Amino acid sequence: MRTILLTACLALLAFSATAQDKGAGKATYDKTCALCHGPGLAGAPKFGNKADWEARKKAGSAKLHASALKGTPNGMPAKGGNLSLADGDVKAAVDYMLAAVGGAKAEAKAVEKADAKGVTKTAAAPAAGGDKGAGKAAYEKTCALCHGPGLAGAPKYGSKADWAPRLKAGSAKLHASALKGTAAGMPAKGGNLALSDGDVKAAVDYMLAAVGAASPDSAAAPAPSPAKVAAAAPVAVVPAPATPVAPPVVPLAVPAAAPRTSAAIDPNAFNRLLAAPGKRNAPPAEDGIHDPANTGTHALQPPLSALGGMNPLGAGNRVNWVSSLEGGKIKPRWDRDDANANAVVMDLNIVREVKGSMPDVVYPHKQHTEWLDCSNCHPQIFIPQKGANQISMASIMLGQKCGVCHGKVAFPVSECRLCHSKKKESLTPAAAVAGAKP
């Protein structure tokens, strides 16, 4: 009898530990891994995409665990850049992603149960106005990058606590914030300007439905009953006074532009230079950024012809801007009034030490000040004070700090080694003990 009880207890303990591992895996994924693996950013295998994971599964889970813990030469940082994670949590996150593409059957079932308690259950709630299908699609394509893990202060999908203070503002206010952006850092339309206004509103309603909220504005004033409407006193119709008719306005002729659909235009929300080859350097009227109805847009030089003579680079918009500048192919003008004004070039490298296996970051002032006056960056983007700037990959991918230019006009975050270019200095055992460099 004791043997049976002991066996049962051990089985329960093993089941409990397994369940905890699955919970830790999902939590770690949502907090850290989803940033890149959710949308498949910078070559990361996309969560739930069997084709992306097929080749990696053949290497075995032990190899994948090691890659996640130590980082890879292709640019993945150790522990996804979050060195505070325990090794066990990182491994659990890898197992969670493997289970999502048909890993161990037991793991796959655990993922389904975890999702059913979190996202899947709340996603079944009816959308508060708008098109549920369009809202879900817009959320998964754009909003999930930040609202899925609750990145950079974004209210987390399905978290009633995060959304409670925002619900009081009403859906109209939330729609406006999503469309125009906020001072707290959310970009207009989540950074994906190819989305229609209706899709953005539908995505907001989809997230509201996930926390059990109907559209606050629509629920505030119930419609009157038919009986009350019928009993209402008739209203006399008074014709409006005649007003002079203004002469018709003849609009400027604008060339017909191709329909701007999210399927045809898919700029990455935070690094549009990571677009597929066929979508790079599109004409201004088709790039999803400029307004095709504006006549000035059609006067702009198409990027492919404008950049054709520049020195090439195998990333981003395929232009090596620094090399092109050094070769005299570009001549920045430093003063709109004085064509002979000279640049004030600052030759100073700033090294930012980073934790983990990635090389340290080198910021070369020379290459930047040959292009830009100091006031372009200081103090609005970077405070010129040591320790005053908190820079992270998350902020860059949100279009902040370095992301104001990189990923938009300068090379994107996929080119890790262009910034992480200083190898870490190794210490000899004797020097390490003495606390001095060799």
Q: Percent of the chain beyond pLDDT 70?
A: 67
Mark whether 211 and 101 lie in a shared domain: no
Q: Which residue carries 């996930």 as its tokens?
A: 210
pLDDT number for residue 9: 46
Query: Which of residues 267 and 308 earns the better pLDDT score?
Result: 308
| Domain end call among 66, 84, 117 | 117
| Dihedral sign of CA atoms 85, 87, 89, 95 in order | positive
Angle at 90 between CA 40 and CA 98, to 5 degrees: 55
Question: Stretch 78-88: mean pLDDT, rounded?
Answer: 79
Q: Which of 82, 56, 60 is nearest to 71 (CA)?
A: 82
Structure tokens, 358: 């990635």
Phi, psi (rounded to 5 degrees) for 211: -110, 20
| Dihedral sign of CA atoms 39, 48, 137, 276 in order | positive
**Based on the structure, what is the number of domains in the chain?**
3
Q: Which of 280, 283, 256 is nearest to 268 (CA)?
A: 280
Separation CA 400–CA 185 (nearest Å): 8
pLDDT number for residue 151: 65
Separation CA 366–CA 347 (nearest Å): 4
Separation CA 312–CA 368 (nearest Å): 19
Least confident of 4-18, 203-217, 355-369: 4-18
Q: Percent of the chain beyond pLDDT 90?
A: 12
Kindly report, residue by residue over 272-325, the tens digit of the pLDDT.
Answer: 666 666 667 788 888 777 888 998 888 888 888 888 889 998 888 888 999 999
Mark whether 134 and 79 lie in a shared domain: no
Query: Would you say 129 and 218 are in contact if contact means Cβ atoms under 8 Å apart?
Result: yes
**For residue 26, what are the domain limits?**
17-117
Residue type, 313: L
pLDDT number for residue 186: 74
Mark whether 24 and 102 lie in a shared domain: yes
Using the predicted structure, report yes or no on whether residue 188 has a pLDDT greater than 90.
no
Q: Domain of 403: which CATH number?
A: 3.90.10.10
Query: Which of residues 191 and 318 earns the better pLDDT score?
Result: 318
| Domain end call among 216, 240, 275 | 216
Mark whether 112 and 127 lie in a shared domain: no
Separation CA 219–CA 126 (nearest Å): 14
> SS3 string of the chain?
CHHHHHHHHHHHHHHHHHHHHHHHHHHHHHHHHHHHHCCCHHHCCCCCCHHHHHHHHHHCHHHHHHHHHHCCCCCCCHHHHCCCCCHHHHHHHHHHHHHCCCCCHHHHHHHHHHHHHCHHHHHCCCCCCCCHHHHHHHHHHHHHHHHCCCHHHCCCCCCHHHHHHHHCCCHHHHHHHHHHCCCCCCCHHHHCCCCCHHHHHHHHHHHHHHCCCCCHHHHHCCCCCHHHHHHCCCCCCCCCCCCCCCCCCCCCCCCCCCCCCCCCCCCCCCCHHHCCHHHCCCCHHHCCCCCCCCHHHHHCCCHHHHCCCCCECCCCCCECHHHHHHCCCCCCCCCCCCCCCCCCCCCCEEEECCCCCCCEEEEEHHHHHCCCCHHHCCCCCCCCCCCCCCCCHHHHHCCCHHHHCECCCECCCCCHHHHEEECCCCCCHHHHHHCCCC
Q: Domain of 111: which CATH number?
A: 1.10.760.10
In a domain, 286, yes or no: no
Regarding pTM above 0.85, the answer is: no
pLDDT number for residue 334: 82
Mark whether 73 and 97 lie in a shared domain: yes
Using the predicted structure, report yes or no on whether residue 206 has a pLDDT greater than 80.
yes
**17: β partners:** none
pLDDT number for residue 386: 76
Question: Stretch 257-272: mean pLDDT, rounded?
Answer: 43
Phi, psi (rounded to 5 degrees) for 283: -55, 150
> Exposed, middle or buried: residue 86 (CB in 10 Å: 0-12, 13-18, 19+)?
exposed
pLDDT number for residue 361: 94
**406: β partners:** 410
Query: Would you say 322 and 411 are in contact if contact means Cβ atoms under 8 Å apart?
Result: no
Mark whether 111 and 193 lie in a shared domain: no
pLDDT number for residue 409: 83
**Strand duo 360-364 + 349-352: pairing:** antiparallel
- In this prediction, residue 365 has a pLDDT band, given cuts at 50, 70 and 90, of very high
Mark whether 90 and 134 lie in a shared domain: no
In a domain, 320, yes or no: yes
pLDDT number for residue 271: 56
Q: How far is CA 28 from the centre of its chain?
A: 18
Separation CA 44–CA 81 (nearest Å): 14
pLDDT number for residue 20: 54
Query: Would you say 320 and 313 are in contact if contact means Cβ atoms under 8 Å apart?
Result: yes
Mean pLDDT of the chain: 73
Mark whether 420 and 307 lie in a shared domain: yes
Query: Would you say 258 and 283 are in contact if contact means Cβ atoms under 8 Å apart?
Result: no
Mark whether 315 and 376 lie in a shared domain: yes
Kindly report, residue by residue over 329-361, the tens digit of the pLDDT.
Answer: 988 888 888 888 888 888 889 999 888 778 999
In a domain, 172, yes or no: yes
Separation CA 35–CA 44 (nearest Å): 10
In a domain, 57, yes or no: yes
Question: Stretch 256-274: mean pLDDT, rounded?
Answer: 46
pLDDT number for residue 183: 67
Kindly report, residue by residue over 106-117, the tens digit of the pLDDT.
Answer: 344 444 455 454
pLDDT number for residue 397: 79
Separation CA 81–CA 31 (nearest Å): 11
| Domain end call among 73, 100, 117 | 117
Separation CA 83–CA 71 (nearest Å): 11
Mark whether 55 and 146 lie in a shared domain: no
Highest mean pLDDT among 173-187, 202-216, 352-366, 382-396: 352-366
Query: Which of residues 365 and 280 earns the better pLDDT score?
Result: 365
Residue type, 50: K
In a domain, 196, yes or no: yes
In a domain, 110, yes or no: yes
In a domain, 396, yes or no: yes
